[in-house]
Amino acid sequence: MNYTKIEELLIHFIKKQAGDKNLILGLSGGIDSALVAHLCKKAVGEKLFALLIPTKHSKKENLNDALMLCKDLQIHHKIIYIDEILYAYEKICQDLNPLRFGNLAARVRMSLLYDYSALHQALVVGTSNKSELMLGYGTIYGDLACAFNPLATLYKSEVFELAKLMGVHENFIQKAPSADLWPNQSDESELGYKYEVLDEVLKALENNQSLEKFDEKLKNLVLKRVQDNAFKRRLPTTPKDTI
Binding residues for ATP, by number, are 26-33, 127, 156, 178
Contacts of 205 (CB under 8 A, 6+ apart): 134, 211, 222, 223, 226
On the CB side of 129, CA atoms within 13 Å amount to 25
Nearest 10 degrees: Cα torsion 27, 32, 38, 42? -110
- In the annotated binding site, the residues are 26-33, 107, 127, 132, 156, 178
Residue 72 sits at the vertex; the CA angle it makes with 69 and 76, to the nearest 5 degrees, is 75
E strand segments, 71-163: 76-79, 122-124
Rounded Cα distance, 26 and 228, in Å: 27
- In the annotated binding site for deamido-NAD(+), the residues are 107
- In the annotated binding site for Mg(2+), the residues are 32, 132
